[in-house]
Structure 1
Amino acid sequence: MIQGTQNQDIQLQPKARRFSKGNLLALGFTFAVSAISYGLWSASSAQASLVIPKNQVQLATVERGSFTRDLSVQGRIVAANAPTLISQEAGQIQYLKQPGEAVTLGDLLAVVSSPQLENELKQQQATLASMESDFERATLLARELQLDMEQIQNTAQVNLLAAQRELARAEQSIKVGVIRQLDYDVAKDKLVQAELEFDHAKRKVSLASDKLQFEKKSGAAALQRQTLVVAELERKQAALHITAPVTGQVGNWLVEQHAHVLAGAPLITVIDLSQYEAELAIQESYIRDLAVGMPVEVNLGNQQLKGQLSHISPEVKDNLVTARVRFSQNDSTSLRQNQRLSARVIIEQKDNVLRIRRGDFVASGASRIAYQVNQDLAVKTPVVLGASSVQYVEILQGAKEGDQWVISNLDEFKQQDRVQLN
């Protein structure tokens, strides 16, 4: 028989493993930390219904400080005084100064030739000369008539004196009985007749004097009226010589050289270089916030000028409102007409307010919600936002100093209550 190997095998008993107290404590601590980490991760993952990479969002901290409500706009430099000269009458234009050429007050810039106005002026001047001759002639005739009336008055006066002397002699004669009563009565009648003729002559002289005064007054009024007509035509003719109203430089020709222009047509602009203003184009939605006198900061490259709103146009064009800024200090040597600029209109200033950097969360959250971040968990929070500036947004409710918010676009958060940021 073949024997097995039972007698060759030796059965060994396992030795009991002993753990030291230090090993047991380390093992327990590791297990506890793992359990807590897993619990926190499980809790946060269970509460967050959406996970977004943290590097895709922008964060900012709520802080307390001063808040300046302002408005950033674009504009250009314009001359505060840049009159546009127009033609008083239709005619042909001839420019005597080139665009950009320096001019002083009163310099002749252009001449408009108007044959029609010149012909009308000559006709009215001839009419005036004719009326002056007629007036002088009428005055002479009236004076001649007055002299005739005065001669008649003098004759009547002489006749009156003769009748008075005749009556006196008749009275003496009738007392002594030299003449008859009939002759005495005739002398008395002659005196009455002479008195009537003298009185009539005086009234005719007075009437002739009144007539002379009337003719003078009427003729003088007609002459004055015609003189005004001629003076107006002479003014229009003089206005055809276009002169510089200010000291500066010629802007632009608004029509071509030797072109035919109509009455009232713009011809040329003159720029006063002594003072410039800024012209801003502002969205009409901000018009209710603007007021004359608001401070403005104008940036021209590395140069910054300060000023204030001096004029706000009442008219809206293409959803824009035009406003003018008057500089408090002006360096005319560094400014140029139509130079582009950016400006900051300061609407309101506040101190000690909660604020946060401005971002897309304002529009995407409709100024009513924000996501507050706590340990990589973004929680949807109702908020009330106030005014906005170029850099900051005012927070009225829903935050405290030191809170951290998501300030980027909130559309990716899909209105979820909790979002995990990895």
Structure 2
Amino acid sequence: MSLGVLLLSQTGASCDDEASAVRLGSAEVGTVDEIVEAPGTVTARTAATLTAPAAGTLRELLAEPGERVAKGDVLAVIDSPELTRRRDAAREALDQAPSGGSVPVGGTVEFTAVRKRTDKQAAAAFEQARDAAGQIADPRVRAALLHQVDAAEKQYETASAASAAALRSVQRGVASLGRAMGSLAAAQRMQAEQAYQLADTAVDALTLKAPVAGVVQYGGPPPAGGGGSLAGLLESGQIPQTTGTVSSGVDAAVPEGGYVAAGTPVITVVDTGRLGLSAEVDETDVLLVEDGVEAEAELDAAPGARYPATVRAVDLLPTTSARGGVSYRVRLELAEGRYPDSGETAPVPRPGMSAVIRLKVRQAAGAVTVPASAVVAADGRDTVWTVRDGRYAAVPVRLGVQGEDIVQILSGVGAGERVVIAGADQVSAGDEAP
């Protein structure tokens, strides 16, 4: 706000209370910032909750709460007797799989029977692998294992089709039965190897590794409605609301040696390397918000501190605001905060902290400005009372950028004109002004 706007004079036309309620100021040239205020939350770059991929026991917890870990570090190991038995059985079948073909006594009839039996074993192995994958709660691990099952099944189908083609060549007399048996043995061997690899992958998933670098927290996000929720920490999407949270006064949701059901949250890794803000902007204001818009945040946890921020993305799909209306999530980069009075560095916020965010959606520099209190409604139009030729006059104006304290005047009033900034209801057109 220009200093000239603050230089006020009281009317001297009369000494009664009515006259003293009228105050005058001046239209000045200055800069106006239009602010959109929105509630928000401090966000982490990402947060990943690791869950038990299958029922079993928590054999080891290898990271402490608050410990910083690197991507790929082993954080916990789970024992699952069922998955281990499946892998051992697949290993035994692989050891017994034929390494080469021998001509069967029954000729092509026995060849056909062996091929059908191998196809049936393969189908059962793939079904079993899909069942094991379906028990894994982590969607990323589950999807990776199912993709591996699909790829293995297609490879086996190709090998099985090759053995069928070899049999047809034998029947046409253009190939030997021994060559066809070699093709069938290769298909049998592939089926056994794939069954073992899939079972071994399921067991490997029992070793929980950090998917991102960050800080360790035991358990998962609190149930919906609980305090201190990690919901909203992710920059894109929400952490699933699941059970298995850490109770007050307890470090780990599941102690070492404790039983875990499939899907039980064991450990969460929060990446705080780049903090941000998530603001809920009302639909009436969101069209003013664009990438690169500057903002300032105030945190409930750090009264008096100011944190600069910059808009980096505005969601296309809406959410329901706390007031029941429609709002859109705006994501911002958060910079280091300071206390304006002392210049001292403000505390580093934590993910999930509440914030009030003021977005500077528009700015007008070198604009004609008046205090916001000078603009009144008259006959359905924005109006400013001015002093012209020593008398009051109501002048319709067109507004531009509207700040909290001052507004831009696009037309109607020029820089340097005296305007009524308080007590406009006490003056009439043509009255003499001081």
Q: What secondary structure, in the 3-state scheme, does the structure 1 residue paired with 2:285 have?
A: helix
User: Residues of 2 paired with 1:77 and 1:212: CA distance?
Assistant: 65
Decide whether aligned partners of structure 1 residues 333 and 131 sit closer, same or farther in structure 2, where only a CA change above 3 A counts. farther
Return the match for 1:323 from 327, 330, 347: 330
Q: Does 1:80 align with 2:93?
A: no
Whose helix proportion is higher, 1 or 2?
1
TM-score scaled by structure 2? 0.56
Residue 389 of structure 1: how far off its partner (Å): 2.0
Q: What secondary structure, in the 3-state scheme, does the structure 2 residue paired with 1:83 have?
A: strand
User: Where does residue 102 of structure 1 map in the other structure?
Assistant: 67
User: Where does residue 347 of structure 2 map in the other structure?
Assistant: 334
Return the match for 1:123 from 79, 83, 86: 86
In the alignment of these two chains, the number of paired residues is: 310
User: Residues of 1 paired with 2:203 and 2:363: CA distance?
Assistant: 59
Residue 221 of structure 1: how far off its partner (Å): 2.9
User: Residues of 2 paired with 1:366 and 1:269: CA distance?
Assistant: 57
Return the match for 1:250 from 217, 222, 239: 217
Residue 393 of structure 1: how far off its partner (Å): 0.8
Q: What secondary structure, in the 3-state scheme, does the structure 1 residue paired with 2:413 have?
A: coil
Return the match for 2:205 from 236, 242, 248: 236
Paired residues for 1:5-404 under 5 Å: 53-56=18-21, 59-89=24-54, 96=61, 101-105=66-70, 106=72, 108-110=74-76, 115=80, 118-136=81-99, 139=100, 141-142=102-103, 207-238=176-207, 241=208, 243=210, 245-250=212-217, 253-254=220-221, 255-256=245-246, 257-258=253-254, 263-264=262-263, 266-298=265-297, 304-314=306-316, 315-318=318-321, 319-327=326-334, 334-337=347-350, 338-359=352-373, 361=375, 368-373=382-387, 378-404=392-418
TM-score scaled by structure 1? 0.57
User: Where does residue 153 of structure 1 map in the other structure?
Assistant: none
Q: What secondary structure, in the 3-state scheme, does the structure 2 residue paired with 1:82 have?
A: strand
Q: What secondary structure, in the 3-state scheme, does the structure 2 residue paired with 1:222 have?
A: helix
Query: Are the aligned partners of 1:52 and 1:421 in contact in 2 as well (CA < 8 Å)?
Result: no
User: Residues of 1 paired with 2:25 and 2:218: CA distance?
Assistant: 51
Residue 97 of structure 1: how far off its partner (Å): 7.8
Q: Give the gaps of 5 or more residues in structure 2.
A: 1-12, 108-171, 222-244, 247-252, 339-344
Query: Are the aligned partners of 2:306 and 2:337 in contact in 1 as well (CA < 8 Å)?
Result: no
Percent identity between the two aligned chains: 16
User: Residues of 1 paired with 2:282 and 2:23: CA distance?
Assistant: 28
Residue identity in the other structure for 2:414:
K
Residue 283 of structure 1: how far off its partner (Å): 2.6
Bigger shift: 90-99 or 363-372? Answer: 90-99
Larger Cα-atom Rg = 1
Residue 335 of structure 1: how far off its partner (Å): 0.7
User: Residues of 2 paired with 1:370 and 1:327: CA distance?
Assistant: 39
